[in-house]
Amino acid sequence: MVKKSMMLVCALLFGLSLILSGCGAPAGKTVGVQSVQKQGKSITVAVQDNFVSMDPGDTNDTLSFSAEKTMMEGLIGFDKSMKMVPLLATSWEVSPDAKEFTFHLRKGVKFSDGTPFNAQAVKVNIDRLSDPKSNLKRHSLFSLVDKTVVVDEYTVKVILKQPFGAMLNNFAHPAALMVSPAALEKYGKNIGRHPVGTGEYMLKEWIPGDHLTVVKNPNYWRQGYPKLDSITFKSVPENGSRIAMLQTGEADFIYPVPPENVQSLVGQSGVTVKHKPSIIVDYVSMNTLKKPFNDPKVRQALNYAIDKNAFIKVVYSGLAEPMTSEIASNVQFFSPQQPYPYDPNKAKALLKEAGYPNGFDTTIWSNNNSTYIKATQFIQQQLAQVGVKVKIENMESGTMDSKIWSVKKPQDATIQLYFGGWSPSTGDADWGLRPLLSKDMIPPQGYNTAYYQNDTVSREIQQAIETADPAQRKAAYDKVEKDIWQDAPWVFLDTRDNIYGYRNYLKDAFLLPDGSLDVQKAEIVK
């Protein structure tokens, strides 16, 4: 029997070691000692999630856009700080009423399948995006387009149904990456599996759930680029494995690096970890249609009840900034507001005034990645201090999407609190406010999970896009941001940093503030 017991002990120890090793964290801090030299000119990028589609117009995750941008280019691009720069269009004009947009195109550019890039190609792409019948996820960015006119071979004019001052930013959005018209015709609905663009790289293979590889486009128009032979994107959901891959050199670039692991990577030889302010805001939306959140006092109380600095310390290891408006400070037309200070007593007083002296019970929904799980637990702890008992439901994103967007009538929505993040990839206030807080954007139309339907705010948001004049737009957004801030349909939390890591020999691979990768100009320096 002793022998049997020993066996049992061994089995259990083995099991425990399995549990521990299954967690996949790096075994120690001595891994990064090998040389920082790199053989060949191919790199591997390890990312957290799977790629969904390679059809830019039908993509709504930032990660898929990252891979698409290596193969395709838009009329307008973004520089490192998300300022618009000419790309396939060399210049453009906007009519004063913000209804007509004329683009002058770059000459001598060809898609990687040999199709020439010209005004006709642009028209095919914009027509496809603006036609509701194409059933594209990003149709909403181009639903205002009335028609696209070919002026001459290298000039194209887009005419809108009504003025829209932020339209240029929509053209810079990755959804408007140009796809080869010949490929669109050839592959039809399957274009998402066969992307063809004018970009630095071309698709070699894509095995969903595992990896996606792009190879050099030999006929790329910009002299001297691309600098690499190939880029392989690998989906590595486990944080620990991704970090280990960077340490061992199996991956040359990883994103994201969890904030709690930054300390352990900093100072390791051959590895650089960077964190930069993003335009991603984290917030808790409150269903303003339902009790108790229909009362602004309750919503303000929750804003006072949460210590944003402690939130940042606990959830992001200090690598974030408290929100000072509904949009991040580096988004166009940001207008700073006075943050709600941490004041649990004031929160309790407000709850009492609103008729909830003993608090209430509620439920919070969020994604189930480890950062979000931690965030919701922190919110639960803080709200418990003022008597609000929160039940946490962390769901897989598919499940949550269907729970939020399958709602037919607003009054049937079961959503109460929702913790989420938003990254306006146009870099403009419009895409940071209208889809989330305007009254015509309640699910399933948009992302207004607060069911916030303030007529004044909705009208002001509309006014801000009816002109292209920056001064007028700024004035309108100043009012919008102030009104929403006071009405508090959200608990305003933070703007997080983007954190990524790379091997030191890698140059010009970085993250844009919206959380998308920019690796198309990357090179290896020996």
Partner 1 sequence: MPDLLKSPAAAGLTVTEPPGPPLPAPDAILTGGTVSSPWSEFWRKFRRQKLAMVAGAFIVLLFIIAIFGPVIAPYRMDQPDYNNMLAGPSLQHLCGTDEFGRDIFSRILVGTRISLWVGLSSVLVSAFFGTILGLISGFYGKWLDAFIMRFSDVLLAFPGILLAIGIIAILGPGLGNVIIAVAIFGIPIFARIVRSSALTLKNTVYVEAARSVGAQNKRLIWKHIFPGAVSTVIVYFTMRIGTAILTASSLSFLGLGAQPPTPEWGAMLSSGRNYLDQAPHVAVFPGLAIFLTVLAFNLFGDGLRDALDPKIKS
- Residue with Cβ nearer partner 1 (8 or 151): 8
- Residue with Cβ nearer partner 1 (149 or 373): 373
From the centroid of its chain, how far is CA 356? 36
Q: Minimum distance from CB of 376 to partner 1 (Å)? A: 8
CB atoms inside a 10 Å sphere around CB 147: 13
Q: Minimum distance from CB of 314 to partner 1 (Å)? A: 6
- Residue with Cβ nearer partner 1 (87 or 364): 364
Which strands sit side by side in the sheet containing 145-152, from one edge to the other? 89-94, 100-105, 155-160, 145-152
Cβ-Cβ contacts under 8 Å for 283 (sequence gap 6 or more): 323, 326, 419, 420, 421, 422, 490, 491, 492, 493
Helix 470-487 to helix 455-464 angle (10° resolution) is: 160
Q: Which two tokens stand for residue 525?
A: 């320096």
Closest Cα to residue 212, out of 78, 38, 397, 66?
Answer: 66
Q: Minimum distance from CB of 46 to partner 1 (Å)? A: 17
Q: Which residue's structure tokens are 């089995």?
A: 11
- Residue with Cβ nearer partner 1 (6 or 525): 6
Q: Minimum distance from CB of 362 to partner 1 (Å)? A: 14
- Residue with Cβ nearer partner 1 (19 or 33): 19
Q: Which two tokens stand for residue 516?
A: 């998308």
DSSP state of 340: P
∠ CA 210-215-219, nearest 5°, is 155
Q: H-type helices in 207-295, by residue range?
A: 239-248, 262-265
Q: Minimum distance from CB of 5 to partner 1 (Å)? A: 6
Cβ-Cβ contacts under 8 Å for 352 (sequence gap 6 or more): none
- β-strand pairing of 361-367 with 417-422: parallel
Q: Minimum distance from CB of 285 to partner 1 (Å)? A: 21
- Residue with Cβ nearer partner 1 (204 or 391): 391
- Residue with Cβ nearer partner 1 (97 or 260): 260
- Residue with Cβ nearer partner 1 (28 or 218): 28
Q: Which two tokens stand for residue 100?
A: 């007509």
Residues forming contacts to partner 1 in the complex (CB under 8 A) are: 1-2, 4-5, 8-9, 12-13, 16, 19-20, 23-26, 28-29, 239-240, 258, 260-261, 263-264, 307, 310, 313-314, 368, 370, 373-374, 376-378, 380-381, 384, 391-392, 394
Q: Minimum distance from CB of 321 to partner 1 (Å)? A: 18
- Residue with Cβ nearer partner 1 (20 or 525): 20
- β-strand pairing of 42-47 with 253-255: parallel
Q: Minimum distance from CB of 386 to partner 1 (Å)? A: 15
Burial label, 82 (beta-carbon count in 10 A; 0-12, 13-18, 19+): buried
Q: Minimum distance from CB of 16 to partner 1 (Å)? A: 5
Closest Cα to residue 496, out of 281, 257, 193?
Answer: 281
Q: From CA 239, how far away is CA 23, in angstroms rounded?
A: 9
CB 351 within 8 A of CB 357: yes
- Residue with Cβ nearer partner 1 (375 or 488): 375
Q: Minimum distance from CB of 380 to partner 1 (Å)? A: 7
